[in-house]
Amino acid sequence: MFNFFTNKKFPYFWKEYLKTFKQKPTKTIEATRFIVFDTETTGLDIVNDRILSIGAVAIFNNTIDVADSFEMYLKQHEFKAETVEIHGILKDGSLKKYSEKVALEKFINYLGNAVLVAHHAAFDIEMINAALKRIDLPKLKNKSIDTGVLYKKLAGKKDNHFNLDVLSTEFNIPKHDRHTASGDAYITALLFLKIISKLKKERSVHFSDLFRNSNNKGLI
């Protein structure tokens, strides 16, 4: 049977990205490279809105590695003045901006086969996937973790659902640079580590447990 994705002539950077998933996967939290990321966008419509910026920072061996970080602003073709108050990104500001295609290539090169982490991860991942589709590429292959879902694995939190501001307050995380992609990525990275630390105090935590949902045995 013809396989579109294996026979399609992908650009070099995407082929290199795919190669990283042929590597033997890690099986411990400490040995895994997590990429905590966030996007600032023109709105919440996956199809019609666009990414304004991508910010990310890596976690390895339970430590945030600020030297392994990513920040990029995208050229704005879909400008919504009403959202500037939230993210502060001006269409013609002094920040250096890149085309969507260049930004995606650099982000994919940065990611490799790392596990993605985000708060309300589905939205950010779908925004990236929608952008990839516009340049004729498939969806991201990375495993992902939503800190909002991970939080529900804590004892007594199963039915709770809170935004990043509320959880930052609960875990005593300073909200510096809130509503910037890089700032939110760093806050989420701190939240991720604090949730895992608290989980480990409650029970034994294994790498595979991070991906189990409330319908599975394990961390529920």
Average pLDDT (14-20) is 97
Determine the straight-line distance between the first and last CA of the chain, rounded to whole angstroms: 40
Between 86 and 14, whose confidence is greater?
14
In whole angstroms, give the CA distance from residue 60 to residue 46: 30
| pLDDT at residue 180 is higher than 60 | yes
When pLDDT is cut at 50, 70 and 90, the band that residue 176 belongs to is confident
**Would you state the pLDDT for residue 216?**
38
**Would you state the pLDDT for residue 81?**
55
> Mean pLDDT over all residues of the chain?
86
The listed range with the strongest mean pLDDT (28-37, 80-89, 173-182) is 28-37
Nearest to 192 by CA among 180, 205, 41, 88: 205
**Would you state the pLDDT for residue 26?**
85
**Would you state the pLDDT for residue 214?**
43
| pLDDT at residue 30 is higher than 90 | yes
Nearest to 40 by CA among 102, 96, 84: 84
**Would you state the pLDDT for residue 178?**
73
Q: How many residues make up the chain in this entry? A: 220
Extents of the domains making up the chain: 31-211
Whole-model pTM: value is: 0.87
Nearest to 181 by CA among 20, 38, 74, 7: 38
When pLDDT is cut at 50, 70 and 90, the band that residue 213 belongs to is low
CATH class of 31-211: alpha beta
Summarize pLDDT for 63-113 with one digit per residue, the tens: 999 999 999 999 887 655 555 444 444 455 557 889 999 999 999 999 999
